[in-house]
């Protein structure tokens, strides 16, 4: 018996096609981070907030740009798929680094990592039930889990919101322009 189910990447227009009297998904897995707030701007998140559905945010660290690992001189290797994504696109990268710099400053002030700060911000967002993170090691997984106990003040949240808004990228346009993702190597 299926008790609950979820969907992935259902934006507002698609959600509106679901009949309200039918079983409604419990979770919608969506891209959401300080560098990708398209779900707020396109009306998807406000729509979800009016339903029992919750968001499971994927790409919460902006494909790594919010971790503090990358800067103007250090990017993923040239063959890395992330160069095909808006997070590392030349026309957006400087904006995303400004957001990452603020994330890093706020993290240092609280004694946590930039990744924990980015995740903590998401965990404080309305309708967000959780985040999907990639960890290559047990230490990374434990560090990511530590985000749940990062205490964010209203001032910290507002500072992150402000820098994110000042450096926003139209993710719907960015998504439409990007080439398809290369097939994964299994």
- Residue 43 placed within a domain: yes
Per the domain annotation, does 185 fall within a domain? Answer: no
Instruction: Give 30-66 pLDDT, tens digit per residue.
Output: 999 999 999 999 999 999 999 999 999 999 998 888 9
Structure tokens at 76: 């993923």
pTM (predicted TM-score): 0.85
Structure tokens at 7: 């969907």
Please, which pLDDT band fits residue 89 given cuts at 50, 70 and 90?
low
Q: Name the domain count of the chain.
A: 1
Nearest by Cα to 135 from 105, 113, 103, 150:
113
Terminal Cα distance for the chain, rounded:
32
48 in a structural domain: yes
Does residue 177 form part of some domain? no
pLDDT at 72 over 80: no
pLDDT band per the 50, 70, 90 thresholds, residue 85: low
Determine the Cα–Cα distance for residues 56 and 26; give it in Å rounded to an integer: 10
Is residue 59 situated within a structural domain? yes
Confirm whether 64 is domain-assigned: yes
* Domain membership flag for residue 101: yes
d(CA 5, CA 57): 16
Q: Which domain holds residue 142?
A: 6-14+24-172
pLDDT score recorded for residue 174: 45
134 falls within a domain: yes
> How far is Cα 161 from Cα 17, in angstroms, rounded to an integer?
31
Q: In this predicted model, which residue has the larger pLDDT, 104 or 1?
A: 104
Domain containing 168 — which CATH number?
A: 3.20.20.100
């Amino acid at each position: 018996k299926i008790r609950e189910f979820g969907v992935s990447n259902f934006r507002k227009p698609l959600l509106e096609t679901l009949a309200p009297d039918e079983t409604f998904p419990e979770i919608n897995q969506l891209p959401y981070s300080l560098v990708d707030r398209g779900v707020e701007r396109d009306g998807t998140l406000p729509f979800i907030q009016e339903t029992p559905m919750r968001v499971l945010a994927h790409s919460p660290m902006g494909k790594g740009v919010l971790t503090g690992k990358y800067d103007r001189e250090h990017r993923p290797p040239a063959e890395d798929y992330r160069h095909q994504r808006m997070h590392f696109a030349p026309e957006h990268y400087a904006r995303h680094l400004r957001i990452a710099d603020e994330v890093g400053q706020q993290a240092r002030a609280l004694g946590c990592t930039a990744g924990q700060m980015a995740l903590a911000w998401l965990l404080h967002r309305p309708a967000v039930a959780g985040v999907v993170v990639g960890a290559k090691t047990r230490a990374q997984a434990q560090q990511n889990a530590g985000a749940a106990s990062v205490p964010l003040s209203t001032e910290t949240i507002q500072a992150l919101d402000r820098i994110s808004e000042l450096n926003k990228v139209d993710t719907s346009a960015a998504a439409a322009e990007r080439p398809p993702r290369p097939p994964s190597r299994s």
